A and B are shown apart, each in its own frame.
Chain A
């Protein structure tokens, strides 16, 4: 397979994904409308009751919704690839003179693109309700850098999930079952201080909390950390990068292996 076609072929596959989204825009709901809904619900329903010692709740909220939304970003790639593998369209691609890698690259590119659309929409709706970047240009860039890194690892994780489940629906079910509790048992919407002692310990060590804290820190938003937070929260940015890389380095090889296996016979 000539390598010179690898990029061109990957883009053909990525464009195919984009066309899917044009045909069924609902596919983007989980990364667009859902986070907007959470932002508005929490900002207006809980905004009045939840006190943030070092700033406003609306500024605090965005980092949490961002990480939750990116975590739900597992869904898109999982259902997309599960559908492709099941419907046999991958067989068509495998019979063509293109490398299997180009399909996977196209898939990852498109799904990452979809997530980034979500990030943009969410940032814009944050700006509308009073969120902003108060650190520095560098801090802002670093914040989005972290977001993209985490999004990338979630896309791979979703791809892997989509390849090991039996159907697209199963992937959806698993994502809801795992991501909902994981993103609520954290400092996503409520500061740690507001939780009962047991939940507080769980939430403090939850990587979701670390990631949300890191995004808040980089954007110069309030973090509402307790006086003596556990180590990961004290070094939130470092740990968030670490978590993201760890997830990426685990899920990418697993996804590639699963893809090879699913497309062998």
Chain B
């Protein structure tokens, strides 16, 4: 596989061979192989229950693997847990901050536990509060924090020791778009400084923007892997989306569109869309839309699609063309079962 050729180990980042974890009868993770060279970014992508958290917990020594082995920064996670913990920073999926301490006290405590001196700890805490936009709330009890603020504090805690390898489990879940962009920038900065980053995400867009390599997990096993570009190539070119308000004409529209497609098209049942008035206030209508998503035949012009729909007497609510996203990759490899779920996450942010 191209992935393996590309991987050349310079300094050790993260490796895994046949990593698996079993809970009772359920294999939460099975047969995970990784080889992340130092300084690169691996995105673990998958919907809920795919095994992302399980993988992160094993790699960060919080959980012991049922089979296989893994190394982080050159140390075996099972045999040399203590050495691994000196090299890593972790932000778990559920924020692990102390609600009964202030944000500053939380960071100072973590810094002290990384064995920084008291002065260093204070300085580092101040720096990180500043960088994660929490300076104004630094002396507030964390239990009064919003979900997003907790999240950022948790991330700050993972940065305390400027770790060699950083593990972030769904770092931007619950963040508003602005904080998300800021965090991405912060992570890119860390990576430029040489940090190896392993992050999990359900946001396909996020893996696309940050990761050098992506591993798509589905029900505990690797469904696909490669660079974002490779994955996109596998799934083909642009997508055409046609949205119709009247679901009864769905099948007709499907037929009308068939000649323009390249491969299969899918119908996504009634996706609720919120329409807000221009002022963004009070009036909001929710209209159910049926969306038909198809791979565009090479050289297709959008206007041909519009004309064909018109000729078939279909009143389309919206016709659009977009580049392939990882969402499409995900749909293509994990099948229609996943499509509904990802559509749901798209609509309810």
Contacts and interface: CB of A to CB of B under 8 A. Distances in A.
Interface stretch (B80-88, B207-215, B297-305, B332-340): B80-88
B308 interface: no
A137 interface: no
A88 B85 contact: no
Contact of A92 (B63, B97, B105): B97
A88 B105 CA distance: 17
A16 B110 contact: no
Interface string A1-19: 1000100110010011001
A96 B91 CA distance: 11
Contacts of A196: none
A97 B86 contact: yes
Contacts, number: 70
A154 to B, nearest CB: 23
Given A24-B100, A92-B97, A19 B105 contact: yes
B64 interface: yes
Contacts of A1: 82
Which of A8, A24, A99, A265: most chain B Cβ within 10 A? A265
Given A12-B113, A23-B141, A88-B92, A95 B98 contact: no
Interface residues of A, number: 26
B101 A96 contact: no
A12 B98 contact: no
B113 A98 contact: yes
Given A16-B101, A97-B85, A89 B63 contact: no
B102 to A, nearest CB: 9
Interface string B87-121: 01010101111111100010001101111000000
B115 A5 contact: yes
B157 interface: yes
Main secondary structure of the interface of A (DSSP, over half): helix
Interface in A72-99: 87-99
Contact of B109 (A16, A88, A99): A16
A8 B96 CA distance: 22
Interface in A15-31: 15-16, 19-20, 23-24
B110 to A, nearest CB: 7
B57 interface: yes
A252 to B, nearest CB: 24
B154 to A, nearest CB: 8
A6 to B, nearest CB: 12
A20 B96 CA distance: 16
Interface string B257-271: 000000000000000
Contacts of A90: 96
B251 interface: no
A63 B61 CA distance: 48
Interface string B130-165: 000000000001000000000000100100000000
Given A12-B113, A23-B141, A97-B114, A92 B101 contact: no
A67 B101 CA distance: 32
Given A89-B98, A91-B96, A96 B62 contact: no
B60 interface: yes
Which of A88, A89, A96, A265: most chain B Cβ within 10 A? A96
Interface of A: 1, 5, 8-9, 12, 15-16, 19-20, 23-24, 87-99, 264-265
24 contacts: A1-B82, A8-B115, A12-B109, A16-B98, A16-B101, A19-B100, A23-B141, A87-B96, A87-B98, A89-B96, A89-B98, A91-B62, A91-B92, A91-B94, A92-B110, A92-B154, A92-B157, A93-B113, A95-B88, A95-B92, A97-B113, A264-B64, A265-B63, A265-B64
Given A12-B112, A94-B62, 11 more contacts: A12-B113, A87-B98, A91-B96, A92-B157, A95-B61, A95-B62, A95-B92, A96-B85, A96-B114, A97-B115, A265-B62
